[in-house]
Amino acid sequence: MKYYIIAGEASGDLHGSNLLRALLEKDKAANIRFWGGDRMKAIAGNPVKHIKDLAFMGFVEVIANLRTILKNIRFCKEDILKFQPDALILIDYPGFNLRIAEFAKKSGIKVHYYISPQIWAWKQNRVHKIKRNVDEMYCILPFERDFYKRFDMEVNYVGHPLVDAVQDFQKNAQTRKNFLSKHQLIDRPILALLPGSRLQEIKTKLPVMLEAAKGFERMNILVAGAPNIADEVYLNLANKTPITIIQNETYDVLNQAHVAMVTSGTATLETALFKVPQVVCYKGNSISVAIARKLIKVDYISLVNLIMGKEVVKELIQNDLTSKNIQKELLPLIEEQSEKRSKMLEAYSSLEELLGSGGASDKVASLLLKKL
């Protein structure tokens, strides 16, 4: 079978790599062409386009890069027609992928969508386009199945792939002793800072996180560095704050962390699955955020709270994201026996149960091959 796969962000690259692995195990003769990042590259060779050239965040940023985005869409359509896949597999990345889905459907190519766009949060009218252009939808959040049912669309709920990613990692994770030795760290509690994967969000959020971290200098302050972001970026922002930058080892950092400050997004869920108490931090372009607030129809921005349907982790957004507010929320989470820490960890266990028993990528690969 011939598969054309499109992932446009870091999280899509992670889930795409696991799906690639499952597909190659089940279809030994698979011919794959893909857009993705380093994780997918490690499994299937060089991508057609790398995610570092694709990820644009926010309304203003998208408009600023519109020419590049439209050029990529044109190229993608031409490339798909040349390849003539048996299946087009789209992974999240809706602004781009929904356009490609419509084109592929009109071109007679089967469209499989893995990880539903968050249309339940905003632009719910997109559901009609999805129903028209997507042959099979594979959802990873439990409430998405009921959402689509409201529009008479049957979808496949496969559980969340991050459950597999974290469980697989922990089977072979390095010991605390080896981790501390490798990075020349003193054996003391770790405060993890996850400022995001894009340069613009790192420059916005990390300075606030670092200012808050000054109140916790008796801990190891570790910054989880993103791929393709140089150490100098973090060091320049840190100024004199004592930090250690750990590049491309976010899971190792979370596996050893005691508490964390986390940029909203997939990382909030990863942090929860590693059972690390956290404070969620978000600050974006003021115009983009103002537009989003008028359009988005959900009560929370973090996946943890959205899935649980209540506030499990504190979200500090825009003007509320200050160093003092972070410190205020973080302090009780550091105390081992505090009620706030215990309640958050208890909620994390319930969250994991909601997300299923694992095997999401394997389920998608099996269902996809069955349909084909």
CATH of the domain at 292: 3.40.50.2000
Residues 45 and 193 in one domain: no
Lowest mean pLDDT, pick from 97-106, 255-264, 280-289: 280-289
In the chain, the percentage of residues whose pLDDT exceeds 90 is: 68
For the stretch 142-155, pLDDT in tens is 889 999 999 999 99
pLDDT (average), residues 219-227: 92
pTM for the predicted model, two decimal places? 0.80
Both 109 and 214 in one domain: the answer is: no
Task: Specify whether the CB–CB gap between 191 and 216 falls below 8 A.
Answer: yes
Residues 204 and 235 in one domain: yes
Give the tens place of pLDDT for each residue, 241-251: 889 999 989 99
pLDDT given at position 53: 75
pLDDT of residue 113: 97
Mark whether 154 and 212 lie in a shared domain. no
Query: pLDDT at position 298, please?
Result: 60
Give the pLDDT score at 285. 61
How many Å apart are CA 151 and CA 131, to the nearest integer? 9
Q: In this predicted structure, what is the pLDDT of residue 126?
A: 85
> Quick one: what percent of the chain has pLDDT higher than 70?
92
Partnered with residue 49 across adjacent β-strands are: none
Range of the domain at 39: 2-159+356-371
What is the model's pLDDT at position 57? 53
What is the C-alpha separation between 322 and 117, in angstroms, rounded?
A: 30
The predicted pLDDT at position 159 comes to: 92
Domain identity same for 178 and 267 = yes
| Tens digits of residue pLDDT in 25-77 | 999 999 999 999 999 999 999 999 998 776 555 555 556 566 777 888 999 99
Q: Do residue 198 and residue 285 come from a single domain?
A: yes
The rounded distance, in Å, linking the Cα atoms of 26 and 109 is 21
Which among 9-13, 16-20, 69-73 has the top mean pLDDT? Answer: 16-20
Same domain, 139 and 247: no
Q: What is the mean pLDDT of residues 65-94?
A: 90
Tell whether 347 and 362 lie within a shared domain.
Answer: no
Residue 333 and residue 254 share a domain: yes
* Within-domain flag for 109: yes
Per-residue confidence (pLDDT) for residue 154, from 0 to 100 = 93
Q: Decide if pLDDT at 181 tops 90.
A: yes
The total domain count for the chain is 2
Q: What is the pLDDT of residues 58-67, one digit of tens each?
A: 555 556 566 7
Domain co-membership, 226 together with 279: yes
Average pLDDT value over all residues in the chain: 89
Residues of 166-197 as b/e, b for ≥16 C-beta within 10 angstroms?
beebeeeeeeeeebbeebebeeeebbbbbbbb
Does any domain span residue 165?
no
Q: Is residue 164 part of a domain?
A: no
Give the model's confidence band at 295: pLDDT under 50 very low, under 70 low, under 90 confident, else very high.
Answer: very low
On whether residue 234 sits in a domain, the answer given is yes
Q: Is residue 37 part of a domain?
A: yes
Whether 333 and 208 map to the same domain: the answer is yes
Separation of alpha carbons 311 and 271, rounded Å: 15
Q: What pLDDT is attached to residue 297?
A: 56
Claim to verify: residue 312 and residue 271 sit in the same structural domain: yes
Q: Which residue has the higher pLDDT, 230 or 3?
A: 3
